[in-house]
Amino acid sequence: MKQTPFYHYDLELLDRTLQAIKAAIGSHSNYHVHYAIKANANPMVLERICKAGFGVDCVSGGEVDAALKAGFAPEKIVFAGVGKADWEIELALKAGIFCFNVESEPELEVISQMASEMGKQATIALRVNPNVDAHTHANITTGLAENKFGINIELLPALVKRAQSMPGIKLDGLHFHIGSQILQMDVFETLAYRINQLLDQLSLEGFRPTHINVGGGLGIDYENPEENPIPDFAGYFETLSKHLNLGAGQQLHSELGRSVVAQCGRLITKVLYVKKGTVKQFVIVDAGMTDLVRPAMYGSHHKIVNISSTGPEEKYDVVGPICESSDVFDKDIMLAETHRGDYLAILSAGAYGEIMASQYNLRKLPGSSSTLE
Ligand SMILES: *Cc1c(COP(=O)(O)O)cnc(C)c1O
């Protein structure tokens, strides 16, 4: 076994997932997927996604840079984010990316001015906050009026006019992203209806966007990852195609992140100690919240399996070594009888796992591999 903790990526499953997305898109030649690179930017993973022909969705200059270095074509890069710094805008303008997803009027002005100075026109979409409840964890909900993201829907018509009058701006689309880990398809249906309404309203005012970007957010099965490794892409694209009224030539863009990579990654960790308390048994592992922060940060649940033992199951809390009470992977779970030196796999960790690792407690960053040896 490699030095633990490390992320183990099943690239064959990643390939099957990418094929499933393509199959779900089918003959919709006006559908374009930009992989949300913030979910996982491991070079092995990016290589497969790039090779499969996907575009990429970035939320920072560093991500734009990483996407270009991984070989993604600039004309398939979209760039979102509420706080784009000048250097990030400049980098993206120079690269000639497909689209800036703009989140405020002052940002629009800065992009217009910088593009004009470079003798360019920036293609942009306005990110609309559609006030749709994603019915997901509060920390990963982004499409409510109270969230910092996007442009309030009532303020949009005026901003469309402003954008159309700016010399450095080519207003091309509308962008939406309402949250993450969305499993109820009726949430996407509601989003589609909201977009339809908005398109009707804007069309009366003479604006017809060339492209609609519905963002990402499709969820995955954290409870039964082994039985259900590939998310419901067919249901997702069917919901959009059935309920979103696109006109002739109008393009649909989507920014799937988690659903593309979550199931192909697992965190492999070694058991340091099994400690018996008065009411609990603790499995203390060498991975911590610095390697996988989701349980501590979002209270999220990852299935854990002991890949070394087949003994009878017992109840354990699985905890990391970090000096924080929240450094707990799961409580009261059943694992095959566990001993020092066993290896545990924390499943469904391919998205928002490795990329969020930190060096808190001066720890080493986790490694990664497509094999166990
Ligand atoms: C995070 C993010 C995504 C991806 O979300 P997932 O839930 O991982 O699919 C897409 N678009 C934007 C703008 C994002 O910030």
pLDDT in tens, 11-65: 999 999 999 999 999 999 999 999 999 999 999 999 999 999 999 999 999 999 9
| DSSP code, position 357 | -
Q: Computed from CA positions of residues 210, 215, 219, 220, in that sequence, does the dihedral angle turn out positive or negative?
A: positive
Q: Mean pLDDT over all residues of the chain?
A: 95
In percent, the amount of the chain with pLDDT more than 70 equals 98
**pTM (2 d.p.):** 0.96
Ligand 1 atom with the shortest distance to the CA of 219: 7
For residue 273, what are its two tokens? Answer: 């100690």
Q: Compute the distance from residue 244 Cα to the ligand 1 centre, in Å.
A: 20
Distance between CA 213 and CA 174 in Å, rounded? 6
E strands in the chain: 6-9, 31-36, 55-58, 77-79, 99-102, 122-129, 151-152, 169-175, 211-213, 251-254, 265-276, 281-285, 304-306, 313-319, 328-336, 343-346, 367-369
| DSSP code, position 171 | E
Give pLDDT tens digits for 330-364. Answer: 999 999 999 999 999 999 999 999 999 999 999 99
Distance between CA 84 and CA 76 in Å, rounded? 19
The neighbour count for residue 229, using CB atoms within 10 Å, is: 19
Q: Compute the distance from residue 83 Cα to the ligand 1 centre, in Å.
A: 16
- Confirm or reject: Cβ of 180 under 6 Å from ligand 1: yes
- Confirm or reject: Cβ of 57 under 6 Å from ligand 1: yes
| CA dihedral of 344, 350, 351, 357, whole degrees rounded to 10 | 60
Q: What is the mean pLDDT of residues 76-96?
A: 97
**pLDDT of res. 140:** 65
Residue partners of 156: CB distance under 8 A and separation at least 6: 126, 128, 198, 202
Q: Looking at this protein, which amino acid is placed at residue 290?
A: T
Alpha helices in the chain (DSSP H): 11-25, 43-51, 61-69, 86-95, 105-117, 156-165, 185-204, 233-243, 258-261, 294-298
Check if the beta carbon of residue 289 is closer than 8 Å to that of residue 326: yes
**pLDDT of res. 139:** 67
Q: Compute the distance from residue 260 Cα to the ligand 1 centre, in Å.
A: 11
Q: 151-152 and 122-129 as β-strands: parallel, antiparallel, unpaired?
A: parallel
Residue 130 banded pLDDT, cuts 50, 70, 90: confident
Give pLDDT tens digits for 305-323. Answer: 999 999 999 999 999 999 9
Distance between CA 77 and CA 171 in Å, rounded? 16
**pLDDT of res. 2:** 94
**pLDDT of res. 191:** 96
Q: Looking at this protein, which amino acid is placed at residue 135?
A: H
**pLDDT of res. 52:** 98
Q: For residue 330, which of 346, 341, 314 has the smallest C-alpha distance? A: 346
Residue 143 banded pLDDT, cuts 50, 70, 90: low
In percent, the amount of the chain with pLDDT more than 90 equals 92
Q: Compute the distance from residue 78 Cα to the ligand 1 centre, in Å.
A: 12
Instruction: Quote the distance between the C-alpha of residue 275 and its chain's center.
Output: 36
Q: What is the mean pLDDT of residues 270-281?
A: 95
Q: Compute the distance from residue 235 Cα to the ligand 1 centre, in Å.
A: 18
- Confirm or reject: Cβ of 8 under 6 Å from ligand 1: no
- Which of 180, 214, 218, 300 gets mutated to test ligand 1 (max ligand atoms within 8 A of its CB)? 180
Residue 149 banded pLDDT, cuts 50, 70, 90: confident
**pLDDT of res. 321:** 97
